[in-house]
Amino acid sequence: MKNILAFSFAFLFTLASFAQSSTSNPQKFLASLREHCGKAYKGEIVSPNPPADFKDKELIMKVVSCKEKEVKISFFVGEDLSRTWVFTLEDGKVKLKHDHRHQDGTPDKVTMYGGTATNTGFADMQFFPSDQETVDMMSSIAGNVWWVTIKDNKYTYNLKRVDSTGFFSASFDLSNTVETDKMPW
């Protein structure tokens, strides 16, 4: 009986140690983003009916800042350098915020909107429904859901408004880096 109890305790201790040291899906997701730190990639709108301010503009994503729990990716639309996606690991989940800046670097009046994943998601895909801060800022986007994928040499940024039939999707080819000296505002 003592041997069985000792074996059970050792087994549970080993299992608990393994669980604590294993990497979670949110951690894997951020690690996948960090692999591209300092690199830039061209993209394209892959959804129908692109917004007018995106039409016929060069799209570039540039991974500009990489920390263990935060990755910042600038999203350049032509000469508009105002957008940065901020991914942060908080309480075991990934949060996405949209940092919008004016050319002088000051925050736009509509900035830092987004949401936190409601679960651990997948290592290659995370979903972000609008959070309360976003709803308080712009109640009209309370039904927004963003999702980001990073797999098969593609990064996709997606937006669905649940009260609309349309959606937005931009895809970036991670197999071909591009040179750019652009930096976010």
pLDDT given at position 54 = 94
As a whole number, the mean pLDDT across the chain is: 91
Task: Give the list of residues 6+ apart from residue 93 with CB closer than 8 angstroms, or none.
Answer: 26, 116, 117, 118, 119, 120, 121
**Over pLDDT 70: what percentage of the chain?**
89
Gyration radius of the chain over CA positions: 20
Single pTM value for the model: 0.88
Summarised one tens digit per residue, pLDDT across range 85-136 is 999 999 999 999 999 999 999 999 999 999 999 999 999 999 999 999 999 9
**Would you call 87 exposed, middle or buried from its count of C-beta atoms within 10 A (0-12, 13-18, 19+)?**
buried
> What is the pLDDT confidence band of residue 2, given thresholds at 50, 70 and 90?
low
The structure tokens listed for 22 are 């294993």
Residue 110 confidence (pLDDT)? 95
Look at residue 4 and tell me whether its pLDDT is greater than 80.
no
Using one digit for the tens of pLDDT, what is the confidence trace for 141-160? 999 999 999 999 999 999 99
